């Protein structure tokens, strides 16, 4: 199989993940942060080590402000449902449902959200956000890169705007964590939501919510936290305030190995190579009369390595099914991001999305183009 | 101050305890993480057993936002 569905979840995972998870089942079998026996403490050490690695990778000074979640969507739910209690949130018009649905769910009770148009230039986009700031705005929240069209939003500039206006800045790094450099301090990011299982190469069932010093979300779920049990509410301090119940320690150990592997990788070179290959695929599709592309040619710094396209006379789902028969795994349809398709005019059928990872080979990139020509 | 005396500092969660241990280590203070006796007000949690200057350790922890629930 040629796997081009890495924007949904990466396959294969980072090489050390399998062994780390296998070891975790035997060596870290205790419940972290609950008991005082040696295996529980050893497990808690492994969990804390993962917090340290995540904090280091994303420029967060305090590892205790790294919260483990089940996925990026859960991270976004925690952050957004806390923020909207304080006021209005401004989002972009290309957001995933993991951003839009929590806001929509809250919109009956709170002012909820305004939507800024992603412009053709970074300056235009920032200006569109700036124009929507009102007295009741509390936060700017946006994706770092579109999961459908790959375009990167100017998060450093948006972070600067948020800081200047005293707003909280939330970034959905679903498509960029482990692919593009993210420094929470330099980019003025207060809340960073990331999946463990995409660009970082960790296992499914792992997600991260990194909280800067300026904002501590309230709990979304409540339950056992292993400490301060006499309190009727969750502990005030992070991460326990936002982590109730037993942690996914096996997944966290896998994520920890993936984070270490990512930190040791030359991400800049890997990214440039992937974008160059994505560009060559784009050129190949551009020469195919039946293919429709929706974005400018992929360019480093402006896009992540994914492409959306359609073939004339076929729906996106039909094209994906034909590719599957040829051994190519892609995602078709709306990619849980109707807002992005509305922005690009690709409703109601959506697009076919090809998304690579650092493990996609040059041969696979060449072959997928040949197969698209064959089925077109 | 007795440099070899061990003192228990209750710090709440296991994460706080590990973060505190790292902080103290950076400041030349050896500490071990363990389960604390339940606090009458807040309940169970974790502690740092500090060898040496526990007053300084408590000050360092509090300054870093790690609230020491029971000081020496």
Interval B11-34: pLDDT, tens: 999 999 999 999 999 999 999 999
Question: The tokens of A182 are what?
Answer: 């993210």
A227 contacts B35? CB cut-off 8 A: no
* Mean pLDDT (whole number) for A225-234: 93
pLDDT value at position B4? 73
Side-chain half-sphere exposure of A192, counting CA atoms within 13 A: 33
∠ at Cα B33 (A41, A78), nearest 5°? 65
Cβ neighbors of A69 (< 8 A, separation 6 or more) are A75, A78, A207, A208, A209, A242
The rounded Cα A247 to chain-centroid distance in angstroms is 20
* Phi, psi dihedrals of residue A116, rounded to the nearest 5°: -100, 135
Of B30, B22, B23, nearest to B51 (Cα)? B30
Question: The tokens of B34 are what?
Answer: 């363990």
To test the contact with chain B by mutation, choose from A33, A216, A227 the residue with the greatest count of B C-beta atoms within 10 A, namely A227
Interval A162-211: pLDDT, tens: 999 999 999 999 999 999 999 999 999 999 999 999 999 999 999 999 99
pLDDT value at position B2? 57
Interval A61-88: pLDDT, tens: 999 999 999 999 999 999 999 999 999 9
Neighbours of A325 (CB within 10 A): 10
In chain B, which residues have their Cβ closer than 8 Å to the Cβ of A229?
Answer: 38, 42-44
pLDDT level of residue A111 (50, 70, 90 thresholds) = confident
ipTM of the predicted assembly exceeds 0.95: no
Interval A122-133: pLDDT, tens: 999 999 999 999
For tokens 């919109």, what's the residue? Answer: A107
What percent of chain A is predicted at pLDDT more than 90? Answer: 98
In chain B, which residues have their Cβ closer than 8 Å to the Cβ of A225?
Answer: 13
pLDDT value at position B3? 61
As a whole number of Å, the end-to-end CA separation of chain B is 12
B43 contacts A227? CB cut-off 8 A: yes
Interval A152-161: pLDDT, tens: 999 999 999 9
* Mean pLDDT (whole number) for A364-368: 97
pLDDT value at position A273? 97
Whether residue A299 is predicted with pLDDT greater than 90 in this model: the reply is: yes
B19 → closest Cβ in A41, A64, A225: A64
Side-chain half-sphere exposure of A372, counting CA atoms within 13 A: 32
Of B45, B42, B34, B35, nearest to B12 (Cα)? B45
CA distance A260 to A50: 9
* Phi, psi dihedrals of residue A113, rounded to the nearest 5°: -150, 160
Taking the Cβ of residue B25 and every Cβ of chain A, the question of whether any pair is shorter than 8 Å is answered with no
pLDDT, mean over chain B: 90
Rg (CA), chain A: 21
Length of chain B: 72
CA distance A191 to A185: 11
Strand pairing partners for A245?
Answer: none
CA distance A314 to A349: 10
For tokens 């076919």, what's the residue? Answer: A352
Q: What is the pTM of this model?
A: 0.96
Taking the Cβ of residue B13 and every Cβ of chain A, the question of whether any pair is shorter than 8 Å is answered with yes
pLDDT value at position B71? 57
Enumerate the H helices of A88-243 as residue ranges: 97-106, 122-132, 155-164
Neighbours of A303 (CB within 10 A): 22
A36 → closest Cβ in B35, B41, B67: B35
B31, containing H or E segment: strand B30-39
Pairing relationship of beta strands A168-172 and A137-143 according to DSSP bridges? parallel
Q: Going edge to edge, which strands form the sheet with A137-143?
A: A66-69, A207-211, A191-195, A168-172, A137-143, A88-92, A113-116
E strand map for A173-280: 191-195, 207-211
A197, containing H or E segment: none
Interval A3-61: pLDDT, tens: 999 999 999 999 999 999 999 999 999 999 999 999 999 999 999 999 999 999 999 99
pLDDT value at position A313? 97
pLDDT value at position B40? 83
Pairing relationship of beta strands B6-12 and B43-51 according to DSSP bridges? antiparallel
Interval B35-66: pLDDT, tens: 998 888 888 899 999 998 999 999 999 999 99
In chain B, which residues have their Cβ closer than 8 Å to the Cβ of A226?
Answer: 13-14, 44-45
Question: The tokens of A302 are what?
Answer: 């402006």
Length of chain A: 376
pLDDT value at position B5? 84
A114, containing H or E segment: strand A113-116
Residue in chain A lying closest to B23 (CA) = A62
């Amino acid at each position: 199989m040629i796997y081009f569905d890495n924007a949904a979840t990466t396959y294969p995972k980072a090489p050390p993940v399998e062994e780390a998870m296998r070891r975790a089942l035997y060596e870290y079998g205790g419940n972290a942060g609950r008991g005082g026996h040696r295996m529980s403490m050893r497990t808690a050490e492994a969990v804390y080590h993962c917090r340290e690695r995540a904090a280091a990778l994303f420029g967060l000074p305090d590892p205790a402000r790294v919260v483990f979640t089940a996925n990026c969507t859960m991270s976004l739910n925690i952050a957004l449902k806390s923020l909207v209690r304080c006021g209005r949130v401004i989002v972009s018009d290309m957001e995933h449902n993991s951003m839009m649905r929590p806001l929509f769910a809250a919109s009956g009770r709170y002012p909820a959200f305004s939507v800024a148009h992603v412009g053709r230039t970074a300056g235009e986009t920032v200006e569109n956000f700036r124009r929507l700031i009102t007295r009741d705005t509390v936060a700017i929240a946006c994706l770092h890169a579109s999961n459908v069209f790959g375009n990167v939003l100017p998060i450093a500039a948006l972070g600067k705007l948020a800081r200047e206006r005293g707003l909280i800045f939330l970034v959905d790094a679903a498509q960029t964590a482990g692919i593009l450099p993210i420094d929470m301090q330099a980019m003025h990011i207060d809340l960073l939501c990331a999946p463990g299982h995409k660009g970082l190469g960790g296992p499914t069932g792992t997600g991260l919510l990194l909280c800067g010093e300026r904002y501590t979300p309230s709990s979304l779920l409540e339950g056992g936290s292993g400490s301060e049990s006499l309190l009727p509410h969750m502990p005030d301090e992070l991460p326990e305030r936002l982590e109730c119940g037993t942690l996914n320690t096996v997944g966290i150990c896998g994520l920890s190995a993936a984070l270490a592997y990512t930190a040791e990788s030359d991400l800049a070179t890997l990214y440039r190579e992937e974008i160059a290959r994505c560009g060559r695929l784009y050129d190949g599709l551009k020469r195919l009369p039946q293919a429709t592309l929706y974005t400018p040619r992929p360019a480093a710094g402006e896009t992540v390595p994914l492409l959306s396209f359609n073939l004339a006379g076929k729906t996106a789902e039909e094209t994906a099914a034909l590719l599957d028969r040829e051994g190519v795994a892609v995602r078709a349809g709306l990619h849980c991001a109707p807002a992005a398709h509305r922005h690009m005019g690709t409703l109601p059928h959506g697009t076919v999305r090809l998304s690579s990872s650092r493990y996609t080979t040059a041969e696979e990139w060449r072959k997928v183009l040949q197969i698209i020509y064959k089925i077109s | 101050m007795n440099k070899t005396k061990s003192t228990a500092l209750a710090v709440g969660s296991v994460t706080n305890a590990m973060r505190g241990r790292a902080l103290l280590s950076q400041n030349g203070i050896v500490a071990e993480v363990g389960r604390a006796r339940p606090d009458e007000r807040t309940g169970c949690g974790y502690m740092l057993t500090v060898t040496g200057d526990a007053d300084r350790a408590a000050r360092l922890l509090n300054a870093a936002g790690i609230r020491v629930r029971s000081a020496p």
